[in-house]
């Protein structure tokens, strides 16, 4: 099975231009799938049946895998079998007539605007690292960035005069993300007071350099910083860098932004992905109902 998986991943890299992170996730999914099939003595992908796929997904559910990870696995497996058929490696796609394998979607965790402010205030801005951390947090929230997008920002991609940053998102799709006045103030402070000192030891072109000679700060470092700030702000352990993105989308919609605009700002390929944010604020829905329904 592995040679077929490798060929499919090469196709996704060359023809579809998927990112390294996405390819790594697909590789993990399909290797797990291959091991499961091997345990059922199914080696030839042409002999896989829909019952094998359903059994694998069911086992993943029982193992406690998150709904989000299972959804990704379903996508990986469907794409893999479609590719096998298109390449002539298999005559049958076992996922073709299975219908939609629905997995419950968990609503994303969202902070209130007050909680966001509390979190943003946690870095010690009397230190260089604190100013850097504040600039990163402000940028995550102001632009609704993924952490992978934040750490890949080149210094030259920041345009403070124009008020935006050029972002490279999933599939290497580029977009211009507005920054807002407050985040720009912190970026400017960081660039003028902190970043020059970092460049004495690091020739990195990235806005937020890491410890390597030319590298960027790591995802793990940002993740740990956000966790530390959340703990100091008494916001619990569920807060992550992605919480800023969820909060950004929710607050934009609550403020009156239309769904299509939020889709563009987030860099979602499909508006269906953005629509989940229309369901995350029951308080706002109740208030809107009260204001506009004739018997509210």
Annotated catalytic residues are 146, 170, 242, 245, 268, 277
> How many Cα neighbours within 13 Å face the side chain of 199?
14
Report the greatest alpha carbon distance in the chain.
65
Strand-pairing partners, residue 6, are: none
Residue 124 C-alpha from the chain's centroid = 27
* 3-state DSSP assignment of residue 133: helix
Report how far apart the first and last C-alpha atoms of the chain are (Å, whole number): 59
Q: Where are the alpha helices (DSSP H) in the chain?
A: 2-11, 20-39, 50-62, 67-86, 113-120, 128-143, 147-151, 181-193, 195-198, 219-232, 241-254, 259-266, 271-274, 282-292
Residue 1 C-alpha from the chain's centroid = 29
What is the spatial distance between Cα 253 and Cα 246, in angstroms, rounded to a whole number?
11
Contact 217, 137 (CB under 8 A): no
């Amino acid at each position: 099975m592995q040679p077929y998986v490798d060929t499919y991943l090469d196709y996704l890299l060359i023809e579809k231009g998927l990112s390294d992170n996405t390819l790594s996730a697909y590789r993990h999914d399909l290797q797990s799938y291959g091991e499961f099939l091997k345990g059922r003595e199914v080696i030839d992908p042409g002999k896989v049946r829909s019952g094998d796929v359903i059994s694998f997904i069911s086992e993943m559910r029982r193992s406690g895998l998150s709904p989000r990870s299972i959804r990704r696995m379903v996508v990986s497996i469907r794409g893999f079998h479609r590719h096998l058929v298109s390449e002539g490696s298999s005559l049958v796609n076992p996922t073709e007539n299975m219908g939609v394998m629905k997995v419950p979607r968990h609503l994303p965790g969202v902070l209130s605007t007050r909680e966001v402010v509390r979190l943003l205030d946690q870095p010690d801005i009397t230190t260089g690292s604190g100013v850097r951390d504040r600039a990163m947090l402000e940028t995550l929230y102001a632009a609704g960035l993924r952490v992978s997008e934040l750490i890949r920002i080149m210094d030259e991609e920041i345009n403070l005069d124009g008020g935006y940053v050029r972002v490279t998102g999933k599939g290497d799709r580029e977009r211009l993300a507005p920054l807002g006045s407050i985040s720009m103030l912190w970026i400017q402070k960081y660039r003028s007071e902190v970043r020059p000192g970092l460049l004495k030891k690091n020739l990195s072109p990235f806005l937020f350099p890491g410890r390597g000679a030319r590298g960027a700060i790591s995802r793990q470092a940002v993740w740990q910083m956000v966790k530390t700030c959340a703990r100091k702000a008494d916001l619990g352990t569920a807060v992550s860098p992605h919480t800023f993105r969820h909060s950004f989308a929710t607050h934009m919609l609550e403020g009156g932004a239309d769904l299509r605009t939020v889709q563009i700002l987030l860099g979602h390929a499909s508006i269906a992905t953005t629509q989940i944010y229309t369901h995350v604020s029951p308080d706002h829905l109740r208030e809107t109902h009260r204001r506009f329904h004739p018997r509210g």
